[in-house]
Structure formats: structure tokens, C-alpha cells
Amino acid sequence: MARAVTTRRKTINTVAAWAIGLLIFFPILWTILTSFKTEAQAINDPPLILFFDWTLENYAVVQERSNYMRFLWNSVIIAGGSTVLGLIIAVPAAWSMAFVPSKRTKDILMWMLSTKMLPAVGVLYPIYLLFIELGLLDTRIGLTIVLMLINLPIIVWMLYTYFKEIPGEILEAARMDGATLKEEILYILTPMAIPGIASTLLLNVILAWNEAFWTLNLTAAKAAPLTAFIASYSSPEGLFYAKLSAASTMAIAPILILGWFSQKQLVRGLTFGAVK
Amino acid sequence: MATQHSRSAARIMMAPAVILLLGWMLIPLTMTLVFSFKRYLPLRGGDLGWVGFENYVRFVSSSAFWPSVQTTLIIVGGVLVITIFFGILLSILLDQPMWGQGVVRILVIAPFFVMPTVSALVWKNMFMDPVNGLFAHLWKAFGAQPIEWLSDASLFSIILIVSWQWLPFATLILLTAIQSLDSEQLEAAEMDGAPPLSRFAYITLPHLSRAITIVLLIQTIFLLAIFAEIFVTTSGAFGTRTLTYLIYQRVLESQNVGLGSAGGVYAIILANFVAIFLMRIVGKNLDT
């Protein structure tokens, strides 16, 4: 029997949860609101909440002055490229570990996880040096490779936990019915694996989009993605809150939307399947 | 049922991932180790030969080392305490019946998706700025003198920013764990007259212990490496120079690669120490 919940208690829960939720969300809300103000209104005291002259001017100014689209494009290429590249390498690996496990499978998985724990700053100079030698410094391809490598363990792990859930009996049944290997992969495994691959893709685009150690240290003007572009606002000139807000809103909006779709996968991906 | 054939196919399928990660790990790690035993100043003479353990001794005995360890511990510890404490409370609240649960969840989880440079800059300027920040407006409204957050209360400010980013992570994982708790057990305890606090202490908390440990370990690994939040707020000034930031400064700002690499080796050892515990828990989970 489900517990009867009094309306009163439900009301208290609702009020408390909404108040805390809005408090936590407030900095984001405030950034979005400020992006529609003029610079003078942005620093007005008392602060203007809703009643100001809404303007889109800041978005135009940010694009015009800093060529925002180029940074956005860099972010898209680097985050998307590193994820796709990672998937191409990780899908076969996770596949074989899930369906043809050997005694060493577990050790290999654990070892992959351990590479993720390597502190980036410990290998900063070697990577920096290698990038200079190979002409990769401040290139999108260089950053794509690095982000692919740092996220590869998470991609393999997530895919592995998803593939592991595909029951092996289905494959055997298909084989009994005379399915060839090609048919088996095309008609049975692929459709069952697509949700897992999609979740992995989503989470890794988010992680790569927000990565802010290598993107800050390995790029300058050419290949800088949005993380580095926003960081350039840390030494501003004149009034800039509204413009900072507009730039920030554009940088986080796509990921906020993607992120809301990936809550569940986030837990699985970031705890390496330990919490589901 | 796995045949010899499928085994060798499996090995080939795994090879690219294994080889790439092996290279990614071994090549830079070996270079860091080699540099750490050298006097290596790229802008002032380059590679000046082997010096044994001198860099390791100098890194630890420099006046910046112990303060940076202390700063690291305060930031990591502060954020862990705040995120786990409020994460538990928040996850219990979010698990209660209410209207608009899905929307509240979305509001709470949102900060995790904000890129670190954005959240650091938004907090630094729009909230903590002593002249135009929202906190300054608020303080003035109550007739108080606005606080210079990032210089006078620098550690607290950084902890606040980082906690805001990581609270959603802790809450989401703890909430997932709470939702797997059998509600009949709680109901039975309630029927037997157990007050809410003991129901929490004897049923909910033990059930959460594994999830809490996982949050603790994963966050520690990420928090030891925070960089952007310090880079764009204080650049390591006002006592906010963590171990990670100190190594970064030695390597890229003062271009003392030997010294920085020795620091890097210390950081790697420290991270491994935490990682071992995490891997043990994750590994246990693999067997089931």
C-alpha cells in the first residue's frame, strides 16, 4: 500500500523544493536576464529584475566585435570531433569486452579507468612540448585528439555497461534461426546498442564542450573554443556585464538543453557504472 | 562458447583503444619523469643536465609548497563537506512527493552543465564584484560595507563557486541511490514508531553509504585538478594557489620545467592514492 500523503505535506515539499531549486538556478537565470539589458541597466542599483528595456543589442555586439561564431564553430568541431573519433575507437573495444570477455577484460577496464585519473597538470609540459614539435599547438586537430584521449576511458566504460545489458541469448536464438554474422550485427545488435551509443555520445559532447584545462593551455587565437573565448573576458575594458552575459548565455545554452536530456546517463557515465 | 577465432578478433577490436591509451599514458609520463631529474629551463639555456633529486627537494622546500598543500586541502575539503551535506538533504527533499518534481530537478542540475570559465566569471563579476556585484547591492541595501570577496574572503569565494558547480553532481547521484531504496522498509519502520531522524540514521544513511563514498572519491579526483576557476578569478593570488596551480605556474609561467615536473610527479602520486580506493569500489561492482 502506498503511503497516503497529505496535501499539506505535499505543499510544504513543493514550496521548499522550488525555493531551493530557484536559488541554485538563480545565477544562470540572472546571466540570461542580464544579457537582455543595456550595460547601464546591468549594473543598476537596485538591480532590475524584469522591468527593463529588453534588447538584443549585446548579442549583436558580441558577434560583431569578437567574431563569436568562429569560437562557437571551434567548440562544435572539437567537442563533436573528439566524441565521434572516440566512439569509432571505443565501440569495437567495448563490444569485444562485453561479448567476448577474457580473464584480462576486467584488468584492462580498470587500467583504462586509471589513465583517466592521471592529473593533467602532471603531463602539461610534455604535451605542450609534443604539440610544439608536431605543430599541433593552437590547432583544432590537436585539441580534438587530446580531448578524445582524455574521454576515451569514459566512452569505453559507458558503452561497456550498456553492451553488457544486451542479453546474449538473443544472439544465440538468432544464430539458431540461421542468421549470418552480418545479419546478426545489422538487425539485432545495432538496434539494441543505439540507445547506449546515443547516451554516450551526448554525455561526451557535454564533457568535451566544457573541458577547461587543455582548451585554455593548448590554444591561442586560432583554435580557441568557447571556454577560452569566455576566459578572455577576465581582463575586460569598461562596462561589460551585459556583453559577458550574452556571450555566456550563447556558450552554455546548447549544453544546458543537451544536458537536460542526459541526466540519467550522467550518473552512469560519471560513476563508471557504479551507480545506476 | 567463445572460439579461438572470436578471441583473436576481439583482440584486434580492442587494440586501437589500448594502444592509444597506452601511448597517451606512457609517453608524457616518461617525459615528466625524465624532466623531473633535470635542470631544464627552456628560456634560459634549455636542458642543463641531470641533477638527481634536487628538483624534488626544492619543490617541497620552496616557501610556496606548504601553503599550496594547505589551500588544496581547504578547497577540496570545503567543497566535499558542502556538496555532500547539502547533496544528502537536497536529494531527500527531491525524493518527496511534490508538484513539478521534474522541473525542480532540471533547475538543480543545471549548474553542472555550465562551463567552468563561465561560472567563474559570472560569479566573479556579477555577484562578487565589490562595486557592481549583486552581493554588493545586497550588502548596501542593509547598510553594510560591501565585501571584497575574491581578495578578502578568497578561499571562501572559490569554495562557493566550485560547490555551486558540484552540488548538482552529488545531488543527482545521491538521488539516484535514494530512489533505489525500498520504501516498504521505511514504511515498516514508521509503523513501528521510529521517528524520522532515526529512520534517516538507521535506514537511509546506511543505504546511501556506497553512493556517498563514490561521490567523495570521484569529486576528490576532479577537485584536486580544478584549474579554470582559479585561473579566471584570482590567478592564484590572495592565497588561492593550489598544488595544481603552483605546478602550472612553475611549468608554463616561470618555465622551470624540471621543478614543475617534480611537482607533477607529486600530484600524480597524490591522485593515485585516491584513485586506488575508487578503483577498488568500481572493481567490486564489475564482478556482479
CATH number of the domain that residue A148 is part of: 1.10.3720.10
Residue B228: closest CA among B73, B121, B123: B121
Using CB atoms, pick whichever of B112, B224, B231 lies closest to residue A216: B231
Looking at the complex, does the CB of residue A97 fall below 8 Å from at least one CB of chain B?
Answer: yes
The 10s digit of each residue's pLDDT in A17-46 is: 999 999 999 999 999 999 998 887 888 777
Secondary structure (3-state) at A110: helix
What does the pLDDT average to over B70-94? 94
Retrieve residue B246's grid coordinates.
Answer: 603552483
Confidence of residue B287 (pLDDT cuts 50, 70, 90): low
One DSSP character per residue, B146-168 reads: PP-HHHHSHHHHHHHHHHHHHHH
Q: What is the ipTM of this complex?
A: 0.87
Check residue A127 and give its pLDDT.
Answer: 92
The 10s digit of each residue's pLDDT in A224-248 is: 999 988 888 877 666 688 889 999 9
Kindly tell me if the per-residue pLDDT of A177 is higher than 80: yes
Mutate to test the interface with A, among B3, B4, B14, B280 (most CBs of A within 10 A): B14
Inspect the interface and report whether the beta carbons of B137 and A125 lie closer than 8 Å: no
Q: A230 CB contacts (<8 Å, ≥6 apart)?
A: A244, A247, A248, A251, B115, B117, B118, B121
**A105 falls within a domain:** yes
Q: What percent of chain A has pLDDT over 90?
A: 33
Highest mean pLDDT out of A71-80, A191-200, B95-104, B250-259? A71-80
Inspect the interface and report whether the beta carbons of A45 and B134 lie closer than 8 Å: no
A40 is in which domain, residue-wise?
Answer: 7-59
Inspect the interface and report whether the beta carbons of A212 and B228 lie closer than 8 Å: yes
pLDDT, mean over chain B:
88
Alpha helix segments (H runs only) across A104-262: 105-116, 124-133, 140-164, 168-176, 181-183, 190-210, 214-217, 226-231, 241-261
Does residue A171 share a domain with residue A44?
A: no
Looking at the complex, does the CB of residue A125 fall below 8 Å from at least one CB of chain B?
Answer: yes
Q: Which residues of A touch B166 (CB under 8 A)?
A: none
Confidence of residue B17 (pLDDT cuts 50, 70, 90): very high
Number of separate domains in chain A: 2
**A197 falls within a domain:** yes
Does residue A169 share a domain with residue A46?
A: no
In this structure, are residues A275 and A268 in contact, taking their beta carbons and an 8 Å threshold?
Answer: yes
Q: CA-CA distances (angstroms) from residue B72 to B240, B242, B264?
A: 8, 5, 14
Does residue A123 share a domain with residue A252?
A: yes
The 10s digit of each residue's pLDDT in A102-151 is: 888 888 988 888 888 888 888 988 999 999 999 999 999 999 999 999 99
Check residue B94 and give its pLDDT.
Answer: 92
Q: Among the listed ranges A207-211, B179-183, B233-237, which one has the minimum average pLDDT value?
A: B179-183
Q: Which residues of A touch B274 (CB under 8 A)?
A: 117
Phi-psi region of A254 (alpha: psi -120 to 50; beta: other; left: phi over 0): alpha
Check residue B286 and give its pLDDT.
Answer: 67
Kindly tell me if the per-residue pLDDT of A1 is higher than 70: no
CATH number of the domain that residue B157 is part of: 1.10.3720.10
Does residue A264 share a domain with residue A203?
A: yes
Number of separate domains in chain B: 1
Cα B81 from Cα B216, distance rounded (Å): 9
Q: What percent of chain B has pLDDT over 70?
A: 97
The 10s digit of each residue's pLDDT in A51-67 is: 778 888 889 888 888 88
Q: Which residues of A touch B286 (CB under 8 A)?
A: 106, 109-110
Kindly tell me if the per-residue pLDDT of A87 is higher than 80: yes
Does residue A233 share a domain with residue A158?
A: yes
Which of A59, A85, A101 delimits the end of a domain? A59
The residue of chain B with its CA nearest to that of A13 is B98
Alpha helix segments (H runs only) across B37-100: 54-61, 65-95
The 10s digit of each residue's pLDDT in A245-270 is: 999 999 999 888 888 777 777 777 77
Cα A11 from Cα A104, distance rounded (Å): 54
B129 is in which domain, residue-wise?
Answer: 4-287
Check residue A3 and give its pLDDT.
Answer: 55
**A208 falls within a domain:** yes
Cα B146 from Cα B44, distance rounded (Å): 45
Q: CA-CA distances (angstroms) from residue B132 to A46, B38, B135, B141, B235?
A: 10, 48, 8, 13, 21
Check residue B52 and give its pLDDT.
Answer: 86
The 10s digit of each residue's pLDDT in B44-75 is: 878 888 988 989 999 999 889 999 999 999 99
Inspect the interface and report whether the beta carbons of A259 and B176 lie closer than 8 Å: no
In this structure, are residues A239 and A250 in contact, taking their beta carbons and an 8 Å threshold?
Answer: no
Those of residues 188-207 in A touching chain B at CB distance below 8 A are 206
pLDDT, mean over chain A:
86
Q: Among the listed ranges A109-113, A260-264, B203-207, B234-238, which one has the minimum average pLDDT value?
A: A260-264
Confidence of residue B119 (pLDDT cuts 50, 70, 90): very high
Inspect the interface and report whether the beta carbons of B225 and A213 lie closer than 8 Å: yes
Q: What percent of chain B has pLDDT over 90?
A: 42
Using CB atoms, pick whichever of A99, A114, A217 lies closest to residue B252: A217
Kindly tell me if the per-residue pLDDT of B123 is higher than 90: yes
The residue of chain B with its CA nearest to that of A91 is B13
The residue of chain A with its CA nearest to that of B228 is A212
Cα A89 from Cα B22, distance rounded (Å): 14
Give me the phi and psi of B147, to 5 degrees please. -95, 140
Inspect the interface and report whether the beta carbons of A117 and B283 lie closer than 8 Å: no
**Torsion sign over Cα A138, A129, A112, B220:** negative
Kindly tell me if the per-residue pLDDT of B191 is higher than 60: yes
Does residue A129 share a domain with residue A38?
A: no
DSSP state of A236: -
Does residue A177 share a domain with residue A51?
A: no
Confidence of residue B3 (pLDDT cuts 50, 70, 90): low
Secondary structure (3-state) at A20: helix
Q: Tell how far CA B150 is from the center of its chain.
A: 20
Confidence of residue A180 (pLDDT cuts 50, 70, 90): confident
